[in-house]
Amino acid sequence: LSELEALMERMKRLQEDKEDEEASQEEMATRFEKEKKESLLVISGGILCFSIKQFAVLFTAFDDEIVSTDVSRYIEDPGFGYKDFARRGEDHLPTFRAQDYTWENHGFSLVNRLYSDIGHLLDEKFRMVYNLTYNTMATHEDVDTTTLRRALFNYVHCMYGIRYDDYDYGEVNQLLERSLKVYIKTVTCYPERTTKRMYDSYWRQFKHSEKVHVNLLLMEARMQAELLYALRAITRHLT
C-alpha cells in the first residue's frame, strides 16, 4: 500500500474498532502517558532517541545551541526558546488535565473579562482552523478527516502535557508516523529549524494546501495550549 492508502486504512480500522469496543479510562490514561513520554524523545531534525539518558545528553546539547544569525536579527534574546515541560530524567511527568481547565468553560470567559470580545475572536479562529476541510485526502474525495485532525491537534497538546480524558491517544500513535511527529515537534517548538526537506518527508502524496492546513492546525493548537497554561495561572491568582 502507498503511504496514503495505508493511512486511510488505519483511519477506517480505528473507526471500526471504536464502534466494536471502546478503551477503558485506565487504558487511555496509560496510552497518554506513553505518548507524552515518547513526545519528549522526539528531537527536531529527524533524531528519535529511545532512552531518557540519551535524551538528556542530546537535550543538553540543544540547551547550548545558539540560534542562527538569520533568526537572531529578529529577536532580542538569542537564547530564548522552547523548553520541554518536564525536568530531565523525571519519571512522573506533570499532566494538565483539560477537564479541570478548558478553553470553552474557563479560558474563553476569563480572556473576555480581561480584554473585551477577544475571546470571541480567538474562539472563532480556533474553530475555523480545526473544522477546516475539503473532505479530501490527496486524490480521494468525500473523506471524513475528523479523526486525523483531532490526532494532530491533540498530539500538540500532548507535547505540552495536556490530556483529554475522553480521547484515546492510541489514535495518535497509529495515525502519525515518525517523520510526521518529528515535523510536528519542529514546527511547533523549534520553527526556525524547519526545512523543506522535512516538509517533503511526510505525506508525499498530499496536496500542498492540505499540508499547509497541518501547519495551521499545529500553530493554533500551540497557541491554545499556551493560553490554557497562562489563563489557568491568572485564574489561580485571582482566586
Which residues of the chain are modeled with pLDDT < 70? 1, 19, 43-74, 78, 85-91
Q: pLDDT tens across 177-222, in order? A: 988 999 999 999 988 888 899 999 899 999 999 999 999 999 999 9
pLDDT at residue 51, rounded to an integer: 35
Residue 79 phi, psi dihedral angles, 5° rounding: -85, -5
| pTM given for the model | 0.83
